[in-house]
Chains A and B, each alone.
Chain A
Amino acid sequence: MPRTRTTSKRSSRAAEATSPDTLRVRMYRIGFGDFFLVTVPSLDGPQHIVIDCGVTKGKSGKGDIATIKAAVRHMADETDRQLALIIATHRHQDHIIGFSRCGDEFSHFDIGAVWMSYWETEYPQVQQFQADLANLALGLQSVALAGAPDDHTAEILGIVENATGVSPTEGPGGGTNAKSLAMLKTGLKVDPEYYHAGQTPKLPKGLVKAGLEAAILGPPPAKAGDFLALEDFKKQYLGAAAGGASPTTIMPFGNNYIAPRRARDYPPSAFREWAPRRKGQRPDFTERHAAQLEDAVKRAIPESLFVAAKKLDNMLNNQSLVVLFTWKGQKLLFAGDAQAGNWEYWLYDLDKRVKDPSTLPMTQAGKDILGSIVFYKVGHHGSTNATPITAVEAMGTDFVAMCSTEGGTFGSVENESEVPRAPLLAALATKSAVVRSDQIAVDVEGKKVGAAADTPAHPATPKRGKFVVGSCYIDYFL
């Protein structure tokens, strides 16, 4: 596609939008997902960074407002298909599906560098870990699909679809997570750099010349893998885990019906299917392979499925690349979907996870960063389990918080799990000017989407810089 096609249009629009000495953060409204364009002014012209490009329809099916393709085309015109850097924070559909759904568009881009999470490295252990997660997701999907539909399965399927990028009940609007990852890793004519906390990233020259600096705060490296797996709900903004509150357990039968010798009360032939199979060897049918059977049954119960789905979700979120940009001494924090484990790793400088780190002193570096940020990309679309309370407390008082989200996609107010979570946004609003993507109406390429219900009509006024609302995005000029 000839580049010249849009040049004249672009330059006039760019001239209107970007003043030469101001950094701009553009948040596109594409539904439940992240799509940010950071534009840094420089003597060589504006330098563009895309941070994530994805959307998911979620439990309610309403998360995808079908504007992502138009938004990507808009971004292509805006940047003249020249991107200094693409950052893909983690492999969830709501952060990367756009790279394959709009793969044709991206394949025409000129890209300086791609940054991805260390957890996307092609190391065998890491690949195995990701493959295990993908298998778990597929397993969850098939079991959840086997049952009649109910609220629980809808939530599980929403989570799993986000993790795999493959929809179980209908064809996707284009793209899968696997295709997006392939695009990012091999389809953009540039090899990605994989980073974890503490590494110094290599900024493309154009950005260095523009005076930008970058530091990587997350994810934790592989040796600290347990930070990914766990998360401490207690300190988060929630009363109950999203929908996970279990009804009172019932005892279907008296204790006298319980087999006293457990599996040994059954013949070994009852466990034949669970005998481990090895090639060239006859399976051992004389043993009772009870542990395997017990696991299989546990996996089939929705409650345990639900817990597994949430855990999977958290693991992937915690793989998020957390980037701190500094421009003219001003700090901008892009937290991806980092959850407790990811935050704690860099806020508390721990070797191992502890039960309640909030009682420990936060590192001075952590305090300095949070105390001085001028911009915060609200983690995980404003969900209850991202952005720890202690982090909000440590943040300064005059920054801008941008939350890319779509109300009514995941969770519910009754369960105190709605996304974005009202108390979190309220807490942030006491310290910052909060704006959410679903509060702006979209009117692009003839497609119109109204603002989400119960959102403020106008963005708050920031103490420094300004917000400008566009056709399918909102800009923050620093």
Chain B
Amino acid sequence: MRRVGGRGRAPRPAARRRDVGVEVTAPIATSEESRDFGDAPFPSAPPSPLGVASKPPLFRPLKVYAVGPSRGRTPGNIRSIDVRYEKLAPGPVGARIAVVDYDATRGCFYDPVDLDDPLIAINGGLDPSESDPKFHQQMVYAVASETLRRVEVALGRTVRRRSPEAAVDLRLIIHPHAGMMDNSYSTRDGSMFFGYFRAKETATGRTVPGQTVFTCLSHDVVVHQTVHTILGALRPDLMLDSMSLDDTSLQEALADLTPLLFHFTHSQVVLETIQRTAGVLFRSHLDAERDPGGDAPRIAAEIASANPLLAVSQDFGEAIGKAAGIRNALADLDPTALDRADEPHARGAIVVAAVFDALFSIYQRRTLDLFRIFRAGGGRLQGNDVPEPLAARLFDEVGRVASRFFNMCWRAFDYCPAVHVSLGDYLRACVTADYEYTREDEWGVRDSMMQAFRLRGIKPTAAAFFTEDALRWPLVHASALPKAGLDPGEFTDESVDPSAMRSFVTKNAAALGFAKTASLAIYPLEVARHTAPDDSPRMLWNTQIIDHAAKTGLTVVFDDTRELRYAIPTSPVPPPRPRKGHIPPGS
């Protein structure tokens, strides 16, 4: 078919990048042709003076392991992630993520993958392979990029590396094979290091003892480290001194919560879990694909397996001899566990369990009607067999709940006190963040969170009552401040004049509880753009003001009217807790 167009070539857009995309312009019509179409049935609209350009794609599909390589090609283990498109140099090295594959144990660089190579791009990225470091580079890039994107969607802004002086662009540096070690690390400067090692003799599950295990191929490990790096950029004040065990515990909690909540976005894994748990997604084990019928299992399909939705890094866990991943979303409900846990990962796991308790309670409540409707229509579950439409609705529902929790858990960081956060403060921050999203809370998210935290012994110290009103940070009364907010000129959607912010703090110093203001470190304001459930847009600004000498500070949140909405003070740091097997020093 021929295109219809007017005379003349469309002018090129001024800022067109030479190397991106293929421009499509209308062919130049000859005079005969236009005569042919003189009274043609087509309207001869003039061409758009700005031309018709095809922009670079929004997303780049890349293949990754959903769990890890040991799952091979089992259903759902290979998935394609739509990564936000950017132009990439070999590495891949882009503006926000750079993968530099240097191996310190061997002292060599590995060949970088060129994801812009058409032969790779056309295939949706390299096919998964353990033996090809280029696939590993692709996977860490894809997973880290996706994690960053989701966190930014939740926060409603681009994450920047903050300091009291400035907030600058964040770039993650990833070393997928930093050297031989059975661990992974991230540092405050944004670097992530992944190790490789020989699986232990006690390796379980699908991992063979002695095989080489790559931590960078474990989806959850990559997400975990990315979260640590993002948190370091987002709230550096909390990482500066790591003043208490709770600060580090909370970081670990979020670094485990994030990959666990991602599991619920993966339809194949969730649907399979629904099928094998009769929709009771929080069961610790999946029933075997085939019921052994009272006998001991005789084929692989008759073996029950751990619930993949609840395990953090099942693959890596098996390689170091733990059947159900390195940590599990739902530990046994034990109110005294918190008192005994004296290690950040273990304490973080209690927070994770509390969040998942709340999540599944709501899932349970919100799917009850679906099962009732199913039964009312004469349906009856045979074994675990959930009919496909019902399973699809359950997947929908759990996805929605998980996404609400994901947003709440991340947005809460905008409402955490400066310098030091206790686990109780985090609960208050979650309740406040969710309140700012929806006042009504028809799902009962906040109440479920409060109950789940309370059952695990996590209580805010300063709140007078254990009710939502008391737990939510109090709203600032404008009349309590000599200057209630910033002036319109000082404060645009994109930037804030640092001197205006300082003068605001100085004028309100007494009300905000600062004796001296000259030595205060004031971080640049960060914007949070959200859409409420009724689709109305909402903007909030937040930042931290820190008194380094007193090791205390204030998190302040401004609303759309540029008035101070919350002023969240740092709670006292609890006395240090003795470690297990350790005699407290001092006599």
Contact = CB atoms under 8 A, between A and B. Distances in A.
B586 A69 contact: yes
A171 B420 CA distance: 14
Interface stretch (A126-134, A260-268, A358-366, A388-396): A260-268
Contacts of B89: 266-267, 269-270
Interface stretch (B191-199, B257-265, B329-337, B388-396): B191-199
A65 interface: yes
B133 A269 contact: no
Interface in B158-217: 171, 173, 175, 177-191, 193, 195-198, 212, 214
Interface stretch (B98-106, B492-500, B528-536, B556-564): B98-106
Given A267-B89, A294-B104, A300-B193, A170 B579 contact: yes
A297 B345 CA distance: 24
B196 A250 contact: yes
Contacts of B186: 146
B472 interface: no
A15 interface: no
Nearest to B98: A270
B587 A447 contact: yes
B90 A61 contact: no
Interface string A30-64: 00000000000000000000000001010011101
Interface in B71-95: 89-91, 93
A271 B109 CA distance: 13
Given A146-B187, A146-B228, A149-B343, A257 B110 contact: yes
Contact of B111 (A57, A143, A259): A259
Given A61-B582, A273-B189, A66 B181 contact: no
A17 interface: no
B55 interface: no
A447 B587 CA distance: 8
B585 A265 contact: no
A323 to B, nearest CB: 28
Interface in A187-233: none
Residue among A174, A258, A447 facing the most chain B CB atoms (10 A cut-off) = A258
Interface string A288-328: 00000110111011111000000000000000000000000
B47 interface: no
A423 interface: no
B54 interface: no
Contacts of A298: 104, 179
Contacts of B245: 169-170
B587 A62 contact: no
A254 B191 CA distance: 26
Interface of A: 55, 57, 60-62, 64-70, 101, 142-143, 145-150, 168-174, 247, 249-254, 257-259, 262-263, 265-267, 269-273, 293-294, 296-298, 300-304, 445, 447
Contacts of B578: 170
Contacts of A70: 587
B131 interface: yes
A143 B185 contact: yes
Contacts of A302: 181, 183
B581 A62 contact: yes
A64 B583 contact: yes
Contacts of B98: 269-270, 272
A266 B104 contact: no
B586 A61 contact: no
A80 B301 CA distance: 80
14 contacts: A62-B581, A62-B583, A66-B584, A149-B343, A170-B578, A173-B584, A247-B198, A253-B110, A265-B112, A294-B107, A297-B102, A300-B175, A300-B178, A302-B183
Contacts of B184: 147
A197 to B, nearest CB: 34
Contacts of B296: none
B242 interface: yes
Contacts of A253: 110, 131-133
Contacts of B179: 297-298, 300-301, 303-304
B195 to A, nearest CB: 7
Given A257-B111, A267-B93, A143 B187 contact: yes
Contacts of A263: 109
A251 B106 contact: yes
A68 B112 CA distance: 57
B576 interface: yes
Given A174-B585, A273-B190, A301-B181, A266 B198 contact: no
B38 interface: no
A301 B110 contact: no
Contacts of A57: 582, 585
Nearest to B211: A250
A294 B102 CA distance: 7
Contact of B579 (A61, A251, A254): A61
B157 interface: no
A267 B171 CA distance: 15
A259 B112 contact: yes
A288 to B, nearest CB: 10
Contact of B175 (A62, A143, A297): A297
Interface string B487-517: 0000000000000000000000000000000
Given A101-B586, A301-B178, A270 B100 contact: yes
B378 interface: no
Given A66-B585, A270-B89, A447-B587, A252 B196 contact: yes
Contact of A258 (B111, B173, B180, B581): B111
B585 A173 contact: yes
B214 A252 contact: yes
A252 B197 CA distance: 9
B344 to A, nearest CB: 8
A265 B109 contact: yes
Contacts of A267: 89-91, 93
A109 B182 CA distance: 51
A297 B188 CA distance: 14
A64 B578 CA distance: 12
Given A65-B583, A148-B345, 16 more contacts: A57-B582, A61-B579, A142-B188, A170-B245, A170-B579, A252-B212, A258-B110, A259-B108, A259-B112, A272-B171, A273-B190, A297-B179, A300-B179, A300-B191, A300-B193, A301-B181
A296 B587 contact: no
Contacts of A250: 180, 196-198, 212
B575 interface: yes
A55 B112 CA distance: 50
B577 interface: yes
